[in-house]
Amino acid sequence: MLPPGSTIGILGGGQLGRMMALAAAPLGLRVHVYAPEDESPAAEVAARHTRGGYDDRPALAAFAASVDAITYEFENVPAACAALLAGLKPVRPGPKALEVAQDRLTEKDFVRALGIGTAPYAAAATAEEARAAFAALGAKAAIVKTRRLGYDGKGQARVASAEEAAAAVAAFAAPCILEGLVAFRQEISVVAARGADGRIEAYDPVENRHREGILRETLAPARLGAGAGAEAWRIAGAILEALDYVGVIGVEMFALPGGGLLVNELAPRVHNSGHWTMDACAVSQFEQHVRAVAGWPLKPALRFADCAMENLIGDEVERWPAIAAEPNAALHLYGKGEARPGRKMGHVNRLFPMGGRP
């Protein structure tokens, strides 16, 4: 267990790092943020900040020397950066989680190998392969996704023919996968944590609503049929074990009309669909993550209220005065200057008694 006064290094300067730093403070743990930007939401609330690139080996080595353990708030940490740091200090979650989650093909192969369902998929690096992949899926429509570096719906295209699939892969000019379209009933996620001692704590599955590929709203708990919640937990637990994971993970799933679950995506970090835990649970996902990274025991992931989390995207943040006046709303703003379209500026957790969410 890292004692109070120890320092956790965080790669990345966004709002997730900010909320981790804010959660570390009450435990007496300090945070050193490493990010390429001059100013960032995380650096603003961290004890220390280094501005550096993820390929700047001397700067990364100096950063590692100044901290006791290292984590990250985004999954696209370059593999060479993670390997360098892991040779110097504990990196949690470990490089295996990054390797799996950074590539949609590796991720789907990994999930399937655990006997867990995914959408049907096929790899396609060229227009030719895209035509073949579309035919192999045998579906009327598919989604082309770049294997790497997609987020918030970017690097994705819906296609309705082999020719459209070929054109999409050619336009991305990057290795892709094609996924059969899933006619899901709901999108859900499980945010769960595994401690350094192997103990797992999972929050209640939640229901997520997206618009234009961006998460808009999370409802906690999800309205699931009998057995689906336990199955969602089982899936998250199997993934944590297989990765020998330490920290918080977000597992996005599709709930099917018949009751089955398919895994869509893994996020090897704290997750936007876990922000509700800040106000509705005995321990937030951010404190839970800091505990895991610092080798502290996890706390039970108990929920004591229903919650509807709303992301404040772009100029929606201008509603802050009205939200600040709502009695049951907890407002979280990220300190970002410019409210550009599509930018996550903050979120609000609206609380309801257990079982009382409208």
User: Which residues bind to ligand AMP, rule: CB under 6 A?
Assistant: 119, 143, 150, 153, 179, 181-182, 187, 210, 213, 252, 264-265
Cβ count within 10 A of residue 321: 8
Q: Closest Cα to residue 142, out of 177, 170, 173, 118?
A: 177
CB of 199 to ligand AMP, least distance (A): 28
Nearer to ligand AMP, 137 or 248 (CB): 137
Residue 334 tokens, joined = 């990220």
81 neighbors 24 (Cβ within 8 angstroms)? no
Residue 12 tokens, joined = 């990345």
Nearer to ligand AMP, 70 or 261 (CB): 261
Nearer to ligand AMP, 187 or 287 (CB): 187
DSSP 273: G
CB of 246 to ligand AMP, least distance (A): 24
Nearer to ligand AMP, 201 or 265 (CB): 265
255 neighbors 184 (Cβ within 8 angstroms)? yes
Cβ count within 10 A of residue 230: 11
CB of 182 to ligand AMP, least distance (A): 4
CB of 155 to ligand AMP, least distance (A): 8
Residue 254 pairs in a beta bridge with 187, 262
3-state secondary structure of 112: helix
**H/E element, 311:** strand 306-313
Nearer to ligand AMP, 29 or 270 (CB): 270
CB of 142 to ligand AMP, least distance (A): 8
